[in-house]
Structure 1
Amino acid sequence: MTEETETPAVDVTGVRDVVSVRLPAVSAYLSVLRTATAGLAARLDFTLDQIEDLRIAVDEACAMLLRHAVPGTDLRAEFELSGEEMTVRVEVTTLGAVSPDREGFAWMVLTALADEVEAIGGEGDSMAIVLRKRRTLARPA
């Protein structure tokens, strides 16, 4: 019997650079996630504007997800840092198949602030949003 495994994210030093955070699926805890987002983006030398964009995008993604979260469950976040890019996946447990509203204002905000946005929903009992943001060089003032 063989077991399939995913190839982990590895930087040039061979170290997997992924941070996972699990917190109650309640909006009162989102400040913890915003702080983690900013700290990790700063680690990749994102500009202040890029850090703020990413913080707002993660906050908006979580707000979209929390509307569908089963009370008493967790919001799970995974941050993958690779070179000049951060991928953030936020996920909640839902009651049945749901997917985020891709026509609403919140989705428009997400797509404006992140380089790539993907929604994973409608399957089983969870819904996730994946954001990718790449570092760009700061423009001289």
Structure 2
Amino acid sequence: MGTISLGSRSEILRCTGTVDLRVPADPAYLAMVRTATAGLATRLDLTLDEIEDLRIAVDEACSLLLQGRAHAGRAIHAGFEVGPPGSGTLSILITGPLDRLPEGNSYAWSVLQALAGKVVTGSGENGAWIKLTYVGRGDQ
């Protein structure tokens, strides 16, 4: 939340703390999603280890949604929601081109669940999705 002055009056602005990123569904573009994750995680005052854990978790989620290959004409959509100051919360909803996700017993799933905090998955009309909710130490 912030305040903006317009001459003699003030308005209160509420920042939603959301960022949407769409990149081609190609492993070559995953660095952009990892970089956006790290940039937003730094706003939460997370440690370097926490930031790296999130980057790895997002990379694994994207890799699962791509199954290691490019999908011409399709996209990976990552929606980031930064929690309120002091919460240390970052939620990331990643949607990919697959109709459904691969089985949840692979190494990638193990890494994802160990590093990301809460992991929820599903599929919809726009493809399969993975939602990661990470709660770090925040501004404590």
| Range of TM-score over shorter length | 0.7 to 0.9
Tell me, which stretches of 5 or more residues in structure 1 are unaligned? 1-9
Paired AA for residue 78 in structure 1: G
Separation in 1, partners of 2:101, 2:56: 20
Deviation at 1:69, TM superposition (A): 7.1
Aligned to 1:16, the other structure's residue is in SS state coil
Aligned in 2, Cα 1:125/1:17: closer, same or farther, shift over 3 Å? closer
Aligned residue type for 1:110:
L
RMSD: 2.2
Per the alignment, residue 111 of structure 1 pairs with 113
Distance of aligned partners of 1:130 and 1:87 in 2 relative to their CA distance in 1, 3 Å threshold = same
- Aligned AA (2:91): T
Task: Tell me how far apart the structure 2 counterparts of residues 36 and 137 of structure 1 sit (CA, whole Å).
Answer: 18
Shift in CA distance, 115/24, structure 1 to aligned 2, threshold 3 Å: same
Q: Following superposition of structure 1 onto structure 2, how do residues 94-109 of structure 1 map, counting pairs within 5 Å? A: 94=98, 97-109=99-111
Q: Please report how far the alpha carbon of residue 120 of structure 1 lies from its aligned counterpart in structure 2 after TM superposition.
A: 1.1
TM-score between both structures, scaled by the size of structure 2 = 0.80
Superposed displacement of residue 33, structure 1: 0.9
Which residue is 2:35 aligned to?
Answer: 35
Aligned to 1:74: 75
Partner of 1:58: 58
Amino acid at match of 2:92: V
Measured against aligned partners, the alpha-carbon deviations of 1:49-101 in whole angstroms (never above 9, x if no partner) come to 0000000000000000012874321110000001220001110133xx42332
* TM-score normalised according to structure 1 size: 0.80
- Give the SS at the match of 2:82: strand
The secondary structure found in structure 2 opposite 1:93 is coil
Identical-pair percentage: 41
Q: Give CA-to-partner distance per residue, 1:23-50, whole Å, 9 cap, x none.
A: 1000001111111110100011111000
The answer to whether the 8 A contact 1:100-1:119 is kept is no
Q: Which has the higher strand share?
A: 2
Q: Max radius of gyration: which structure? A: 2
Distance 1:80 1:137 in 2: 14
Q: Is the 8 A contact 1:18 1:79 kept in 2?
A: yes
Runs of 4+ in 1 over 2 A off after TM superposition: 68-71
- Count residues in correspondence: 125
